[in-house]
Amino acid sequence: RDYQLAESGGQWSKGKNSRGFNPVGPGLIPADAVDPQALRLWSSVNGEPRQDSTTADMIFSVAQIIHHLSQYMVLSPGDLVNTGTPQGVALSGRFPYLQSGDVAEVGIEHLGAQRTRFIPARTAASEGTAR
């Protein structure tokens, strides 16, 4: 979040789109196989529930978001669009920020879940290089 808040002016998408920042599962479901406004979303950290909501609670529908984006960029089959997050994030102050060793799990109904273990960031010193 240091990069996202301090260096990018609080732009949320920059904190989700750097290399390794947006892990996705091994497969996706075709858009016509599910109702994008009727999917349950959930997350947990170390087995403790953090978020549990549905896409029906989104401020803008998936169709509205796609329409808006397509006004100024080309969207192609397979593109992923980050739409935001339900309540339950650390920035709210209700939960601590992720730490080294934490395991986060996020899921979307019909798509499955993605589990990520967080490890310390590599530093120039730990890699044997100087800066």
Alpha helices in 1-131 (DSSP H): 2, 62-70
How many whole angstroms separate alpha carbon 79 and alpha carbon 48?
Answer: 31
E strand residue ranges, 4-130: 40-45, 48-54, 103-108, 112-117
User: b vs e for 93-129, b when ≥16 Cβ sit within 10 Å of the residue's Cβ?
Assistant: eeeeeeeeeeebbbbbeeeeeeeeeeeeeeeeeeeee
For 62, the 3-state DSSP assignment is helix
What is the pLDDT, as a whole number, of residue 129?
A: 46
How many whole angstroms separate alpha carbon 122 and alpha carbon 66?
Answer: 36
How many whole angstroms separate alpha carbon 41 and alpha carbon 57?
Answer: 10
For 73, the 3-state DSSP assignment is coil
Predicted confidence (pLDDT) at residue 115 exceeds the cutoff of 80: yes
83-108 residue pLDDT tens: 877 777 776 777 888 899 999 999 99
49-76 residue pLDDT tens: 999 999 999 999 999 999 999 999 999 9
